[in-house]
């Protein structure tokens, strides 16, 4: 399969988006959790930040990440005129 | 397909309304004196009947329908089905209890089980869908070429899924025995019937549509009790938003209760008891003899004093239940010692992260928390029964959207679980602790009867101390309707929800196991020219065999069931995740690298789990194999080592060999780059 410049461009943009979002994922999952004790004086809805992130904050951010990725990628597909072979509606 | 969505919506809307009408009808009947046992039966029969109807209506004889539901499940419905597939009886019943018992430390499960979907969405789902075959081993075989990669994939799939399905069927047995009063073993086989009616005739197609129905029941059942409890305690029926305030009150109560003199005294007594067990273990076997003599002497004096018959009988039973030899005595007393020591330990504040001595941070707790989060995430992104769901959407774009819907539907439960823990803790700290043992609330005595709640008045003051109370984690969810004073119908609804959670997960898992055996092992390796019809016959018979096997194992009540669930995640993650990810993102990964990496990941994880968790395996006559955990990481997070070893092995072995063929590289490109408009 010979790749042209457009395909490379598509893949590059995909990788950038993925890397950025994984960075956010890593930060909320591991960095904030590691410092949970250091940020416990910050209260969100009456809950210390470390606990809040584990219970609500991080899961909601995960949801945003997945939503943003789907939106951006589907838009990218449209820009590049991707044909999904099986799509029949 | 144009009129497909509205029709589906209409079906499920009328189905949900019908279910609510049924619950209301039962509520009215309960008012008129319908006994609880009948309510339990009605829920059990009606829900299984519903699932069976969908299963029969969706029966199919087409391979594409059977394995991937014809690839026409809309994103939203696939999200719901994934939600039900994903949320097992451990999520439904166990999570709230874990959060109650271990506070912040339990949040590892909430984060791990939701954060894994980020990995699914970004790294796996779209590429698997673009590849578009039937199973996970299919992908491994196509990417790395040859049947060895497929075989190792099949092995990992079956190992992880079977452990998990046993846990689900065990859960079904518990629910039916508790709510309907069936014997545990009978409950297991009733559950088995419930599972088979869905998956046997219609495969993935039937399982998908029953899972959508099961999701509706399980989420309503999960949200109703805590919403009402939240309304009663705070006046606002949104438990997810109000539990912060309740946690602040819990914090105040904790500060008062933990330092009360009676509480400190009770903890000291438990620690003394632990020390006494410790001494006895050290002086084995004389201590066992002494114990026996001592009991005999006490029985004799009681008999001579013409004491109450009841006391004599109680002591005699104690004597009968003494361990037979010093090996038994050692393990029995060690458990007793750990329990006593746990009850005597300083309690931790609910919201404090990694509590150590005084104000310090417990580094070990922190390391275990982070590695458990990591293992659960990687495992989530590698469990085959979840990943295969993304083969069933109509397009790659739908697969991406579908992960979003999956996570949204899953969050409805996971964001609520911490609220359960908070409200029940508030209830127990404010009402139960400090109340006289003679007047316990009704829910305590009714769950106490089957051993889910126990109170031991160790300091003999007739008042409940926190240290004297022991709760089975499952009771947090199951008792909430009674704590909130709701009618039995709600308890029945919760049981139906728990049943739906266990059945839906078991269905997905069984189908995955049967698929790996029939599609990958039989069709792709053993007999590539088998006819379509024959393949379905093989698949269905294997489904039956695996289901009966799993039910038989579950009816043995394996003791380490909760550990086994966490292990399934580590195993799947270590064996499959590195090979799947590198398969898409690293063209240089070779066949030899992948096969050795999967095997090394699997073996390292197994080795670590077994040696950290067990000291001896009686049925293999192996003894003294226990080892100190590396860096203090518990066996539930064994995948940390396995995943690292797997990645490292794939990279090293791949770089040592020749680069993969042009053909393989073309395959990777076809998964990465879609057809573009020129």
Please give the ipTM for the structure prediction: 0.91
Closest chain B residue by Cα to residue A20: B122
Predicted local confidence at residue A87, as pLDDT: 43
DSSP B216-231: HHHHHHHHHHHHHHHH
**Class of residue B443 by CB neighbours under 10 A (exposed 0-12, middle 13-18, buried 19+):** buried
Interface of A with B in 23-62 (CB under 8 A): 25, 29-30, 33-34, 36-37, 40, 44-48, 50-52, 54-56, 58-60, 62
- Contact list in A for residue B393 (CB cut-off 8 A) is none
Give the confidence band of A2 by pLDDT, cuts at 50, 70, 90: low
Kindly determine whether residue B114 and residue A80, on different chains, have CB atoms separated by under 8 Å: no
What is the C-alpha to C-alpha distance for residues B451 and B565, in angstroms, rounded to an integer?
23
Measured distance CA(B420)–CA(B476) in Å, rounded: 7
- Residue spans of the domains in chain A: they are 26-79
Contact A56, B240 (CB under 8 A): yes
Residues in chain B, pLDDT under 50: 1-2, 678
DSSP 8-state class, residue B657: S
Query: Could you give the angle at the alpha carbon of B100 between the alpha carbons of B94 and B106, nearest 5°?
Result: 70
Q: Do the chains contact at A83 and B677, CB–CB below 8 Å?
A: yes
CA–CA dist A55, B246 (Å, integer)? 15
- Identify the pLDDT of residue A86: 44
- Inter-chain contact B395–A59, Cβ cutoff 8 Å? no
How confident is the model over A52-74, as a mean pLDDT?
A: 92
Quick check: A89 pLDDT over 50? no
Distances in Å between the Cα of B30 and the Cα atoms of B41, B44, B490 are 13, 16, 11
Q: Give the pLDDT confidence of B473-512 residue by residue, as tens digits.
A: 888 888 888 888 888 888 888 888 988 888 888 888 888 8
pLDDT in tens, B113-147: 999 999 999 999 888 888 888 888 888 888 888 78
Tokens of B352: 């404090």
Task: Band the pLDDT of A60: cuts 50, 70, 90.
Answer: very high
- The model's confidence at residue A27, banded by pLDDT at 50, 70 and 90, is very high
Distance in angstroms (rounded) separating the CA atoms of residues B18 and B22: 6
Calpha distance A9→B349 (Å, rounded): 52
Q: What is the pLDDT of residue B377?
A: 93
* Residue from A17, A28, A59, A65 to probe the interface with B (highest B Cβ count within 10 Å): A59
Are B270 and B348 a contacting pair, CB within 8 Å? no
pLDDT at residue number B173: 82
B398 to chain A, minimum CA–CA distance in Å?
A: 9
For β-strands A47-48 and A43-44, DSSP reports them as antiparallel
3 state DSSP class of B471 = strand
* Structural tokens at position B566: 């966490």
Helix, strand, or coil here: B617? strand
How many residue pairs from chains A and B have C-beta atoms closer than 8 A? 160
- Give CA–CA dist B274/B264, Å, rounded: 15
Query: Which residues, at least 6 apart from B183, have a Cβ–Cβ distance to it below 8 Å?
Result: B177
Q: Which residue of A has its CA nearest to B113?
A: A59
Q: Which residues of A touch B408 (CB under 8 A)?
A: 63
Quick check: pTM over 0.90?
A: no
Domains of chain B, start order: 21-234+369-419+487-672 (1.20.1730.10)
Res. A41: pLDDT tops 60 = yes
CB of A16 within 8 Å of a chain B CB? The answer is no
Residues of chain A contacting residue B677, judged by C-beta atoms under 8 Å apart: 80-83
CA gap B378, B638 in Å, rounded: 12
Q: Helix, strand, or coil here: B292? A: helix
Q: State whether A86 and B71 contact (CB < 8 Å).
A: yes
d(CA B370, CA B377): 11
* Per-residue pLDDT at B588: 86
Asked if B118 lies within 8 A of A65 by C-beta distance, the reply is yes
| HSE-up of residue B424 (Cα within 13 Å, Cβ side) | 29
């Amino acid at each position: 399969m010979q790749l042209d410049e457009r395909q490379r461009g598509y893949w590059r943009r995909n990788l950038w988006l993925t890397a950025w979002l994984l960075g956010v994922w890593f930060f909320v999952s591991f960095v904030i959790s590691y410092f949970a004790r250091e940020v416990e004086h910050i209260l969100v809805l009456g809950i210390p930040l470390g606990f809040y992130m584990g219970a609500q904050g991080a899961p909601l951010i995960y949801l945003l990440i997945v939503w943003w990725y789907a939106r951006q990628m589907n838009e990218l597909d449209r820009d590049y005129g991707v044909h999904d072979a099986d799509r029949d509606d | 397909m144009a009129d497909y969505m509205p029709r589906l919506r209409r079906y499920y809307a009328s189905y949900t309304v019908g279910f609510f009408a049924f619950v209301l009808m039962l509520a009215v009947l309960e008012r008129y004196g319908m006994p609880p046992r009948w309510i339990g039966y009605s829920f059990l029969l009606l829900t299984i009947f519903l699932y069976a109807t969908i299963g029969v209506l969706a029966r199919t004889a087409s391979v594409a329908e059977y394995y991937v539901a014809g690839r026409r499940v809309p994103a939203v419905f696939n999200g719901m089905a994934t939600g039900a597939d994903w949320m097992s009886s451990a999520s439904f019943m166990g999570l709230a209890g874990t959060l109650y018992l271990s506070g912040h430390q339990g949040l590892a499960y909430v984060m791990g089980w939701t954060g894994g979907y980020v990995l699914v969405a970004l790294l796996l789902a779209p590429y698997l869908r673009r590849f578009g075959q039937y199973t996970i081993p299919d992908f491994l075989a196509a990417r790395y070429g040859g049947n060895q990669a497929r075989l190792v994939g099949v092995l990992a799939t079956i190992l992880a899924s079977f452990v998990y399905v046993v846990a689900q069927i065990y859960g079904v047995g518990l629910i039916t025995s508790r709510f309907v009063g069936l014997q545990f073993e009978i409950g297991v086989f009733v559950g088995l019937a419930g599972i088979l009616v869905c998956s046997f005739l219609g495969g993935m197609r039937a399982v998908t549509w029953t899972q959508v129905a099961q999701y509706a029941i399980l989420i309503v059942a999960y949200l109703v009790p805590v919403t009402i409890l939240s309304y009663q305690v705070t006046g606002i029926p949104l438990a997810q938003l109000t539990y912060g305030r309740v946690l602040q009150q819990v914090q105040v109560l904790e500060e008062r209760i933990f330092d009360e003199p009676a509480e400190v005294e009770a903890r000291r007594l438990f620690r003394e008891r632990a020390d006494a067990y410790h001494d006895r273990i050290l002086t084995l076997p004389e201590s066992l003899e002494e114990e026996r003599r001592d009991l005999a002497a006490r029985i004799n004096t009681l008999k001579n004093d013409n004491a109450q018959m009841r006391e004599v009988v109680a002591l005699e039973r104690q004597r009968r239940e003494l361990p037979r030899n010093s090996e038994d005595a050692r393990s029995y007393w060690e458990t007793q010692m750990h329990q006593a020591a746990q009850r005597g330990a300083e309690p931790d504040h609910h919201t404090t992260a990694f509590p150590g001595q005084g104000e310090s941070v417990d580094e070990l707790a922190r390391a275990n928390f982070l590695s458990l989060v990591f293992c659960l995430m990687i495992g989530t992104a590698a469990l085959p029964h979840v990943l295969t769901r993304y083969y069933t959407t109509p397009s790659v774009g739908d697969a991406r959207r579908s992960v979003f819907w999956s996570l949204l539907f899953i969050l409805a439960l996971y964001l609520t679980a911490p609220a359960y823990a908070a409200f029940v803790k508030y209830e127990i700290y404010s009402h139960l602790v400090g109340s006289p043992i003679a007047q316990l609330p009704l829910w305590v005595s009714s769950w106490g009867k089957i051993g889910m709640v126990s109170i031991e008045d160790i300091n003999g003051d007739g008042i409940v101390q926190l240290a004297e109370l022991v709760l089975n984690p499952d009771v947090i969810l199951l008792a909430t309707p009674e704590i909130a004073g709701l009618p039995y119908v709600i308890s029945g609804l919760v049981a139906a929800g728990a049943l739906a959670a266990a059945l839906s997960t078991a269905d997905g898992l069984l189908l995955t196991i049967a698929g790996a055996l029939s599609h990958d092992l039989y069709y792709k390796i053993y007999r590539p020219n088998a006819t379509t019809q024959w393949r379905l016959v093989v698949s269905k018979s294997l489904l039956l065999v695996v289901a009966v096997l799993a039910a038989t194992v579950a009816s043995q009540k394996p003791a380490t069931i909760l550990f086994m669930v966490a292990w399934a995640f580590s195993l799947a993650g270590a064996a499959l995740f590195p090979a799947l990810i590198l398969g898409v993102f690293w063209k240089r990964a070779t066949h030899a690298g992948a096969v050795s990496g999967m095997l090394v990941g699997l073996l390292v994880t197994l080795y670590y789990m077994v040696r950290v968790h067990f000291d001896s395996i009686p049925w293999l006559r192996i003894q003294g194999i226990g080892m100190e955990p590396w860096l203090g990481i518990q066996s539930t997070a064994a995948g940390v080592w396995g995943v690292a070893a797997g990645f490292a092995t794939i990279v090293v072995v791949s770089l040592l060999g020749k680069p993969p063929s042009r053909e393989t590289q073309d395959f990777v490109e076809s998964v990465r780059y879609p057809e573009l408009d020129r």
